[in-house]
Amino acid sequence: MASHGLTYDGCNFFRQRLVLSTLSGKHVKIKNIRSRDDEPGLRDFEASFIRLLDKVTNGSRIEINQTGTVLFYQPGLLYGGPVEHDCNPQRSVGYYLEALLMLAPFMKTPLKATLKGVTNDPTDPTIDLLKSTALPLMKKFGIDGEAFEIKVVKRGMAPGGGGEVVFTCPVRKTIKPVQLTEPGKIKRIRGVAYSVRVSPQMGNRIVESARSVLNQFLPDIYIYTDHMKGTNSGKSPGFGLTLVAETLNGCFLSAEMSSTPQGQGDPVLPEDLGKNCAKLLLEEVYRGGCVDSSNQSLALLLMTLGQQDVSKVLLGPLSPYTIEFLRHIRDFFQIMFKIEVQTPLEDERKGGDKVLMTCVGVGYSRELKHSQDR
């Protein structure tokens, strides 16, 4: 095999490494996975993630030592097609879907993934968030089509799960370069207040409290309430809110909150949740940029894999996760970004410091990767 492998230490940024390995065709070895822990080795949700990668690829080789502290992964070809996967309830479906979003456009056949498990929890991005921000972002890179959607069939709150999500994505030969440098002002706010296995009134209470904060800024606010009943409501009670602000130039900034999972700490009032979520959205707007902080790494990956042309994206302050992702992109694709910090003037009212990221794509296509593998 032409491409050489990479070796990493520890369990951090596990998904980044495996996703980039799959795309670049370079094998990867991760050692010392929680080797000093009382329970060493891979956790169940990570093992479940490896199984999902195995399902969407053809001919991947995965070796794990007996204690689970060393993983060797040699990626196969991205195949796609219909895939069903039971996600581990320790993490939400969003944890798995984030990685699939990065891989899906480069499959051999269009992907139709049915993921079952926890759809909304406080730690991972929820399905609603990915649906309302990640998909529009990918459309800007030319990944679009009738069969490009995320559908919530059943909701499942943590810790019980029982939700079901269907993600379909068309195949793209190439990714087009983008120039996203002017986000523009916020024109409207949309949202979803969801509740399952609790009183339907919860949704209305969340909406009212969120509006009490946001109505001070603009009138065009519409928050849907989504109350699922019966078998579609999963196994655990809970509620939450996802808010998305859309700018004049079609950029989406988002924030979300979920209620504390049953039996895992102090319960939260829907009024407080609505207010805090609205404040989180305002904070995200202050950070600004054309991509919100939860989708920074997706945008940077698509820029890297774009045609051999210059892409520019204006981001808010980079999150630590994104900074590590940039290091991994350098390792796997030898691509370095030009980073310019822009500090807006006080009277411009454009929020905090922004970062302009520029790079030239590698002109990635499936054929290119296959020829490397031979």
Q: Which of 235, 143, 243 is nearest to 193 (CA)?
A: 243
* Residue 148 · residue 100 · CB < 8 Å: no
The domain ranges of the chain are 186-287
pLDDT digits (tens, 9 = 90+) for 320-373: 999 999 999 999 999 999 999 998 877 777 788 999 999 999 998 765 555 455
d(CA 282, CA 285): 5
Domain 186-287: give its CATH code. 3.30.360.20
> Among all chains, which residue has been given the structure tokens 């020829």?
371
Instruction: Please tell me whether the peptide bond between 136 and the residue prior to it is cis, using omega within 30 degrees of 0.
Output: no
pLDDT of residue 367: 59
Q: Which of 13, 17, 16, 1 is nearest to 72 (CA)?
A: 17
Torsion of CA 243, 247, 252, 257, to 10 degrees: -20
d(CA 366, CA 374): 13
pLDDT of residue 365: 78
pLDDT of residue 280: 96
> Among all chains, which residue has been given the structure tokens 């794990």?
64
The pTM for the full model equals 0.94
pLDDT digits (tens, 9 = 90+) for 269-300: 999 999 999 999 999 999 989 999 999 999 99
Based on the number of CB atoms within 10 Å of its own CB, is 66 exposed (0-12), middle (13-18) or buried (19 or more)?
Answer: exposed
pLDDT of residue 369: 55
pLDDT of residue 2: 46
> Among all chains, which residue has been given the structure tokens 């001070």?
216
**In the chain, which residues have pLDDT < 70?**
1-3, 366-374
d(CA 149, CA 135): 7
Cβ within 8 Å of residue 99, ≥6 positions away: 15, 18, 19, 49, 52, 53
